[in-house]
Amino acid sequence: MAEKLAEVSYENPDSLAAAADLLGSPAQKTGEFTRANGVGIAAEEKVRAAAFSEDVLKGGNSEPIEVGGDKLVVLRVASHQPAAVKELKDVKKEVIAAIQRDKASQQAIAVADQVKQDLASGKTLAQAAEARKLASKKLDGLARNSTQLPAPVVQEIFKTAKPQAGQPSIAVLENAGGGKLVLAIHKVNEGVMSEADKSKQAAISKNIAAAFGKAQLEAVLNALQAKADIEIRPEKQ
């Protein structure tokens, strides 16, 4: 079906009708999107790249594009608005908002650096936060699979170096709102594997070894096949 789709799309470059008839599914239309951003199917970078390719912009159909590992998409451009510099009066609000976001980001970075300096001087995170009227939160016994904090924050905590000589380890990362989060890790408790965990680990190690072995064997066979001279002779009657 994928080969037929590619063939029909190539043979009918000025329409998606033939491809739609082949699949028994009507063509769908997206909203406008840019080279950098889009929603729906246009959120896929490969789709945007194809839409802005030279052949598609000239009015042809794209080649089939694999999306999500189990879908093929053929697209054509319904309309194209070339890039242009807008007049200031048309983008004034956007410019002001961008400047405000930039200033807020710079201020967040400066405050995060001040908090780090306070922590380095011996103050607690709560003291540093209170001095700047910021919120702080203390967590005890945070596990890797904890849902008390967003997953990216938990991941950053467990990537941060262990605290040394009574000094907390400090990490700074962006939060979802564009601000900064300052993390202070005071203590790390080493995990203890149960007997069940150990048996699981042994099984996982065995599966990984088998997978690597299979991959290496396939690589060797492919290499041998690539170097081999293969001659196909017709069967004798």
Tens digit of pLDDT for each residue in 65-94?
988 777 889 999 999 988 888 888 888 998
Tell me, what's the pLDDT at 80?
A: 92
3-class SS of residue 204 = helix
Higher pLDDT among residues 97 and 231, named by residue: 97
Tell me what percent of the chain is helix, strand and coil, each rounded to the nearest 5: 50, 10, 45
Tell me, what's the pLDDT at 237?
A: 59
Show the tokens assigned to 153.
């924050």
pLDDT of residue 197 exceeding 90:
no
Residue 167's pLDDT band, with cuts at 50, 70 and 90, is: confident
Query: Cβ distance 2 to 64 under 8 Å?
Result: yes
Averaged pLDDT of the chain: 87
Nearest partner of 65 among 19, 98, 133, judged by Cα:
19
Taking the C-alpha atoms of residue 27 and residue 25, their distance in angstroms, rounded to an integer, is: 7
Query: Cβ distance 16 to 25 under 8 Å?
Result: no
Tell me, what's the pLDDT at 16?
A: 92
- Give Cα 66 to chain centroid, integer Å: 17
Q: Residue 115 CB: number of other CB atoms within 10 A?
A: 24
Q: Residue 62 CB: number of other CB atoms within 10 A?
A: 20
* Lookup result for tokens 């170097």: 227
pLDDT, tens only, 208-231:
988 888 889 888 888 888 888 877
Residue 1's pLDDT band, with cuts at 50, 70 and 90, is: confident
Tell me, what's the pLDDT at 178?
A: 75
The predicted model scores a pTM of: 0.46
Higher pLDDT among residues 30 and 84, named by residue: 30
Higher pLDDT among residues 169 and 166, named by residue: 169
Tell me, what's the pLDDT at 52?
A: 94
Taking the C-alpha atoms of residue 118 and residue 173, their distance in angstroms, rounded to an integer, is: 17
Taking the C-alpha atoms of residue 10 and residue 65, their distance in angstroms, rounded to an integer, is: 13
Tell me, what's the pLDDT at 51?
A: 93
Q: Residue 64 CB: number of other CB atoms within 10 A?
A: 19
Q: What percentage of the chain has pLDDT greater than the value 70?
A: 99
pLDDT of residue 48 exceeding 90:
yes
